[in-house]
Structures are given as structure tokens and as C-alpha cells.
Amino acid sequence: MSKPTSKHTPQPVSSKTTYALAGLAVVVVAVIVAAVVLWNRGGGDEVRNDGYGPPHDPAVTVALDSDGAIVLGKPGVSKTIDLFEDPLCPACGQLETIYGQEIAQAVDTGKIAVRYRLVNFLDSRSGSKDYSTRAIAANECVAQGGDGPVYGKFHSMLFTTKQPSEGGSDHSNDELAAIAKEAGAGDDVAKCITHRDRADTARAHAEASMKALNEALNNRAATPSVFIDGKKVDVNNKNWVQDAAK
């Protein structure tokens, strides 16, 4: 997140101010949660392109940008969607469950690429208190391996069948490495995850993504959020993937 630019020297905070700030934090979290709940209430729950699976065309590549964005698609694709997600976000899991396979087919056919921007505002809602950040680091480890279908499968599993429940237990780094191996990643990727090679960069990238999301949504960040050419997509429109792939 961006830091305050004020040059004011902080003074000791009174207990009343502390309670007020705590209340404000609850309100901010409530806004985010409310946005998620509202998303859950919208649209149907029919799985689109059920049975297609994650991207599996060998020509699909994955690249890790310098700002931490993970780009999945075929070379030369003219349209890219930006997808902001938190690995622990239930609504993000629902979006992946309903639309993930439709997105995968559009990626395989070269109609779109996906730029994943992962955030970690739900760290505190995980059993380990840092699951979102560790899951982002694992995503980066898999992405830097360069195999598009492997990353696509790993991302799909992490947001659907393997997604932990918010407020409950979560995956250890060894378990995240095992999921990566199940997706087809090699030993070097597994070591990257278990050795926490990208822990610090993942946290920095998550903060940068959160800043970008706040700027795009006037400081009312909510996940999942999808953008095309800087314009927010209504993911309650069940045909949004088809529209994006035109």
C-alpha cells in the first residue's frame, strides 16, 4: 500500500484515537467483505465450459512481469484482461469455478491473455496469518518456471479445489509445493516454494497490486475485479468472458 506523504511528525496516540482507528479498520474491511458478498449474490452459478479444464495448449506461455503481474497467454495476443484476486477470497474462488474454464479456452484459442494481479489483504483471515502472501509467492515460483499450462493448472487448483476456507486452516509451504508438483511443476519450482525464495518480492508485489486496485476503484478495493483497457468489467454479466474474447 502507498505510504502517507504528509511531513507531520506523528504524536503518541490516545486510547480513544486507537479505538477510533480500530473502528475505521473494521469499516474498511466491512466495505471489502460487503463487496464480496454482493458479488456472490449476483448472477447464476452455472459453470461455464464445464469439462474443458485449465489452459492446456503447449503454445500458451507464462511470464512474471517486474511489477509481479503474472501474464498467461499466447505470444502476440492483442487483448489482455487484468484480474485482481486474493488467494483466500471466496468470491475469487467462485469466479474461477464458474468462469475459469471459459477463460482457459479463450486463452488456448489466442483470443485473450490474462494478467493476474494478486493481492494479500486477507492474510489476517488465514490460520497462518500470512497465507495469501505465501500463496502469491508460490504463484510467482510457478510462473517463473515459464510453462503456461502448468501455471494455468496450478492457479486453477489454488483457487478452486485446493482453496482454503477464509478464517480456517490453510496450506503450508510444503503443501503448496506439492500442489505445484501435482500441476506438473519441477523440483526447482518446489524448492523455490519451500525455501520461501520469493516471500519478500511477493509481499512487495502484492502491495503494488493493492495500490493499483485502490487507484482504479477510488480507494474502494474489492476482489475479484476484472479490467479491460482500464475499464472495470461487470462480472455479474454471465457473458463477460465471451464479450472480452470478441
Angle at 47 between CA 234 and CA 245, to 5 degrees: 50
Instruction: Specify the 3-state DSSP secondary structure of 191.
Output: helix
Cα separation, 103 vs 157, whole angstroms: 14
| pLDDT for the residue 44 | 56
pLDDT, block means (10 residues), the chain with 246 residues? 33 35 39 42 74 98 96 96 98 98 98 98 96 98 97 98 95 98 98 97 97 94 95 95 95
User: What kind of fold does domain 15-244 have according to CATH?
Assistant: Glutaredoxin (3.40.30)
- 31 Cβ contact partners less than 8 Å away, ≥ 6 residues apart: 220, 222
Contact by Cβ (8 Å): 88, 167: no
Domain ranges of the chain: 15-244
- pLDDT value at position 82? 98
Chain centre to alpha carbon of residue 74 = 20
Residue 192: CB atoms within 10 A of its CB come to: 22
CB 117 within 8 A of CB 213: yes
